[in-house]
Every structure is written in structure tokens, then in C-alpha cells.
Amino acid sequence: MSEKMNVESFNLDHTKVNAPYVRLAGKKAGVHGDEIYKYDVRFKQPNQEYMDMPALHSLEHLMAELSRNHSEKIVDISPMGCQTGFYLSLINHEDYEDVLAILEATLTDILEATEVPACNEVQCGFAASHSLEGAQELAREFLAKKAEWKDVF
């Protein structure tokens, strides 16, 4: 990697990170003073592990819906194409410790969920690809390693 690329994560040396972790991946200021904070929420070690799609898909639905019960600052939760984590974006909210608390509360809620929200053909583009149990196992694994979330490298 000699040349800096436009995408922040393409400049991250994925061989040096230690998942699971939560790191601030970027901050953008809007023209009216709002700031968007993007966090890299890495569940799996890059190039060694990945989340299977039905579990990842259900985890995305659950996190997207349930996280908003803990913060009105959430803009988006997006899965990474590499299937190792998610991007969590918040507006005007830079408190890292609070972001960790939001994630912990959301994942705890997932463990108690009895269904995947919007898991039907009307509300989802691939309703057949879901696993509540898989999503709960991913949440359980991530929560079990909470002490490691701040250690990126």
C-alpha cells in the first residue's frame, strides 16, 4: 500500500488488527455543522474468519431496529462486504464510551429476541436468508469479548 486510497478501510492494514474491536473509522462535518462519526465494529478477524450470510443478515436487521431503542443519534448500521463486521454511523455523537454502551445494550437485546424484525418478503429483499439463532450466537460471541473491544492493534 504505497498510495493512499479514497476509502478509509482500504488504507487500514487488515493483517495488523485484532478482532473483535470497535474503532472510530472516520468523522465528517456537514455544511451546517453536523458531524457524522463512523465506527468499524469488527466481529471477526479479517481474512481468517467471517460471518455466514443468514446470521449476518439477521444480525443486521436486529441491530438496525434495536439500536434505535438506545439512541436517537444512529444514522445507519451497514454490514461490511467482507462479512467481518459492520459500520455504525452516528450524528453529533462522539462519546466512544457511550457508543460501546449502545452496542452492549443492543446486543443484549438481541439475545432476548424471539424473531428477526422485517423478516418477510414485503420488508426484506432476501427474506429466506435469515437465522435468528446465528445472529444470537454472533452477539453472544462479541459480548463475551467485550474486554477486547478497545484493543484494535
pLDDT in tens, 111-132: 999 999 999 999 999 999 999 9
Percentage of residues of the chain with pLDDT beyond 70: 99
User: For position 137, which CATH number holds?
Assistant: 3.30.1360.80
**7, part of any domain:** no
Q: What are phi and psi of 42, to 5 degrees?
A: -95, 115
**Per-residue confidence (pLDDT) for residue 56, from 0 to 100:** 98
Q: What is the mean pLDDT of the chain?
A: 97
Q: What are phi and psi of 47, to 5 degrees?
A: 65, 10
Which of 2-6, 7-11, 98-102, 146-150 is predicted with the least confidence, judged by mean pLDDT? 2-6
**6, part of any domain:** no
**152, part of any domain:** no
**103, part of any domain:** yes
Domain total in the chain: 1
**69, part of any domain:** yes
**121, part of any domain:** yes
Give the confidence band of 137 by pLDDT, cuts at 50, 70, 90. very high
**20, part of any domain:** yes
**153, part of any domain:** no
Q: What is the DSSP string of 90-122?
A: EES---HHHHHHHHHHHHHHHHH-SS-TT-STT
Q: Which residues span the domain enclosing 125?
A: 12-146
